[in-house]
Structure 1
Amino acid sequence: MIELDRVTRTYPGGVRALDGVSLYVAPGELVAIVGPSGSGKSTMLNLLGTLDRPTSGQVHIDGYAVGELNDAQLSALRASRIGFVFQSFHLAAGTTALDNVADGLLYTGLRSGQRRRRAAEVLERVGLGHRLDHEPQELSGGERQRVAIARAVAGEPALLLADEPTGALDSQSGAGVMDLLWELNAAGTTVVVITHEREIAESLPRQVRMRDGRMVADEVRAVAPGRDGALL
């Protein structure tokens, strides 16, 4: 699903945000990329999501060589194969949960009625079937993040990138979001969680640690799925 081969990313002024990183993530994995501010996590997210290109090295996402694709092809790859979840939700104010998710399917070619049906199905899947007509300001933080996750997975992406998905939530809501990511992974989605929270990283089966633009550890462990050892 993901292959980085000696990837570097240098910004103006000679700042090297990534320094020769090589990483392989197989389809169906659940991985945490963890590190302090300035470690290269955000740059890694941008490269994995094809939002940026490497200065050197090779990036392959779901079998596609990112460096060989033009901007239109990269946009199509993101729309069809990659889902994004961000800390700040990025939901449209004054728009219902149903329409926030349905609008995320605008570029799939589905008709309006099909988009809304798909949105309702996915919101039901994340436990918000009773909140379809509620706007973001009427939802709790945990519920808003679930809407954001529903929007990210409505197009059935092969890869889900979650950037600090619990950062704006209380501990109970954050734990519920992590349980949901476990469930999505169990259904076959490759999930990469970018986080600075060591506790979250250590709860996942694989932890990649970053520091100063380099990968300093890659640990695989046996952990129980979800908070109580069982999927939702």
Structure 2
Amino acid sequence: MNAVIELRDVTREYGRPPTTALSSVSLRVERGEFVAIVGPSGSGKSTLLNVLGTLDRPTSGTVLVDGVDVADRNDRELSALRAHRIGFVFQQFHLSEGVTATDNVANGLLYAGVPIRQRRARAREALERVGLGHRLTHRPNQLSGGERQRVAIARAVVHRPPLLLADEPTGNLDTKAGEGIVSLLGELHSEGTSIVVITHDVELARRLPRRVTIRDGHLEHDSATRAGVTA
């Protein structure tokens, strides 16, 4: 079976003269894995997330989504791929302030060609899945930070993607709310979603089944590596 996402010898450079954000990075995430990618600020975590999510193209190397090389896909094709295959959760919730939780989540299906009635029905189902069935008509300013992040997660999973990429999902939350989000991600993982969490929180990373450390654009350590071979 193909990996859900794979990078082969990926390098990403910016500017002139070039600054190397990622250097010869190879990473394979199998279906059903729960992976933490951990590193300090400036280590290349955000660039790695953007490449994994096909939001950014590598300078060199190969990116495979479900075994398919995305190099020849145009921007429209990549948008369609993300709409069906990848969900994103960010540290900033990116919710529309004047819109209900249901419509914020339903908007996650705009690019998937789902009719409005079905979008809202699936949004309600996703909100119930993340424990917010009682907050369907609330707007972001009526929700706590933890609840807003749950809305963002519901939006990310409403199209049932096989891969969820979470960028510092607990970074703006207090300890209790952060624990709730970690538990929710664990539940989604147990239901079959492959999850990659980008974080600077070493303690959070230690709690996940697989930990990958990045520093200065290089993968420094992978807990799934045995005798130099990545499992």
Does 2:103 correspond to 1:99?
yes
TM alignment of 1:119-130, pairs within 5 A: 119-130=123-134
5+ residue gaps in structure 2?
Answer: 226-231
CA contact (8 A) 1:101 1:154 kept: yes
CA contact (8 A) 2:9 2:61 kept: yes
Q: Deviations over 1:41-100 (max 9, x none)?
A: 000000001001111111112222121211111111011100000001000011100110
Indicate the SS of the match to 2:160. Answer: coil
Indicate the SS of the match to 1:127. Answer: coil
CA contact (8 A) 2:62 2:71 kept: yes
Quote the offset at 1:203 in angstroms: 0.6
Indicate the SS of the match to 1:178. Answer: helix
**How far apart, CA to CA, are the structure 1 residues paired with 2:52 and 2:211?**
16
Quote the offset at 1:220 in angstroms: 4.1
Does 2:221 correspond to 1:217?
yes
Indicate the SS of the match to 2:71. Answer: helix
Does 2:152 correspond to 1:148?
yes
CA contact (8 A) 2:80 2:112 kept: no
**How far apart, CA to CA, are the structure 1 residues paired with 2:40 and 2:198?**
11
Deviant stretches of 4+, over 4 Å: none
Indicate the SS of the match to 1:5. Answer: strand
What amino acid does structure 2 have at the position aligned with 1:9? R
Structure 1 counterpart of 2:229? none
CA contact (8 A) 1:3 1:23 kept: yes
What amino acid does structure 2 have at the position aligned with 1:11? Y
TM alignment of 1:103-122, pairs within 5 A: 103-122=107-126
**How far apart, CA to CA, are the structure 1 residues paired with 2:224 and 2:6?**
17
**How far apart, CA to CA, are the structure 2 residues paired with 1:220 and 1:143?**
33
What amino acid does structure 1 have at the position aligned with 2:127? L
Q: TM-score, normalised by structure 1?
A: 0.93
Indicate the SS of the match to 2:84. Answer: helix
Structure 2 counterpart of 1:34? 38
**How far apart, CA to CA, are the structure 2 residues paired with 1:91 and 1:200?**
25
**How far apart, CA to CA, are the structure 1 residues paired with 2:117 and 2:46?**
36
Does 2:190 correspond to 1:194?
no
TM alignment of 1:137-176, pairs within 5 A: 137-176=141-180
CA RMSD of superposed structures (Å) = 1.0
5+ residue gaps in structure 1?
Answer: 222-232
Indicate the SS of the match to 2:223. Answer: strand
Q: Deviations over 1:9-41 (max 9, x none)?
A: 011131000011111110110000000011110
Indicate the SS of the match to 1:67. Answer: coil
Indicate the SS of the match to 1:88. Answer: coil
CA contact (8 A) 1:53 1:66 kept: no
Quote the offset at 1:184 in angstroms: 0.6
Aligned pair partner of 1:131 in 135, 138, 148:
135
**Identical aligned pairs, as a percentage?**
64
**How far apart, CA to CA, are the structure 1 residues paired with 2:70 and 2:22?**
17
What number of residue pairs does the alignment pair up? 221
